[in-house]
Chains A and B, each alone.
Chain A
Amino acid sequence: MRDSGLDKDEPKSIHCRTAARALQQYLDSEIRDELLVTAISFHLELCRDCGMEAETYSRIKVAIASEGRAFDSETMARLNRFLDDLL
């Protein structure tokens, strides 16, 4: 989503503040700048606090997703039949 402005010769050197600012986009795979993605990955491996922060948000994301999918099976069946009937 953003231009990291990282030095191409040292793409893995970022501060905690930079990592924290981009963490949510990183976890959502929304960062297009590959240098920044690499830099954040590297930082999260080395920095215990940032790594734990990333792990916490990852757990929250997984918990939300696993708990939140709730479909009415009858409604889904009707909509699938409707889709088939379009043919």
Chain B
Amino acid sequence: MSAISEPGSSISDGPDSGSLPSGIPGESKTQRLGFTESVRPEIPILLHVARSYNSADAEDLVQETLTKAFRAWDKFDGRYLRAWLLTILRNTAINAGRKRIPSLTGDSETLEQQPDSSLAASPQDLLESNDFVANVKKAILGLSSHYRNAVELVDIDGLSYQEAADVMGIPVGTIMSRLHRGRRQVKEVLAKQGLIGGEQ
């Protein structure tokens, strides 16, 4: 069912995490520039997902992922880049014995907030009150980790259901179920606080 082109053996013998490749012989400069241009926008999502395995070495995991992706770039079919990168990241994490931690939410005390500019400019966002957003955030933090992970992967990282399912290693139907239940619980919390209307 997955549309992901599994990197498989092309990454299984990838470099050690600490090694920095100096370029691949035979690779054209155009190909390599294409790699950085394509992959750079995906780094925040890779980092976010990497934190779900182990926040302490999430950066190392992303670096390993970038290195392996770079080395396998000539084998990439050009489709579903994000899913391809997330598959490499997930395989790398699993091969290294990293275990998932309950939440994808980072350490908020050490993070610098960078609102998504595309959202900040939308008229709908302008209508959001600070109270509403703050209470949504509180409600998200109150969800069980299963529900919270699903909501964060789809609503924060913008992953498709299939991509989120691949990241979490669960069926798409399970992602849908967790996502919908998580959102419903958030809605119920907001309704109790009088921020929105109740159930239909």
Contact = CB atoms under 8 A, between A and B. Distances in A.
A80 B44 CA distance: 10
Given A66-B119, A66-B120, A84-B36, A71 B125 contact: no
Band of interface residues on A: 35 or more
Interface stretch (B3-11, B74-82, B94-102, B152-160): B152-160
A86 interface: yes
Contacts of B137: 63-64, 67-68
A70 B112 contact: yes
Contacts of A24: 176, 179-180, 183
A52 B36 contact: no
Given A64-B136, A68-B155, A79-B59, A87 B197 contact: no
Q: Is the interface of B mostly helix, strand, loop or mixed?
A: helix
B146 interface: no
B35 A86 contact: yes
Interface in B123-162: 124-125, 127-128, 132-134, 136-137, 140, 151-152, 154-156, 158, 160-161
B161 A28 contact: yes
B170 interface: no
Given A30-B160, A62-B119, A83-B36, A52 B197 contact: yes
Contacts of B127: 59
Given A71-B47, A75-B47, A83-B36, 11 more contacts: A52-B200, A56-B197, A59-B196, A64-B140, A65-B116, A66-B120, A67-B134, A72-B110, A83-B43, A83-B66, A86-B32
Give 9 closest A-B pairs by Cβ, nearest first.
A68-B156, A63-B136, A70-B111, A64-B155, A63-B133, A49-B200, A86-B70, A67-B137, A66-B119
28 contacts: A16-B200, A24-B176, A24-B179, A24-B180, A49-B200, A56-B187, A56-B196, A57-B183, A61-B155, A63-B137, A64-B136, A64-B137, A66-B133, A67-B134, A68-B140, A70-B114, A71-B111, A71-B114, A72-B111, A73-B112, A78-B59, A79-B66, A83-B43, A86-B36, A86-B66, A86-B67, A86-B70, A87-B23
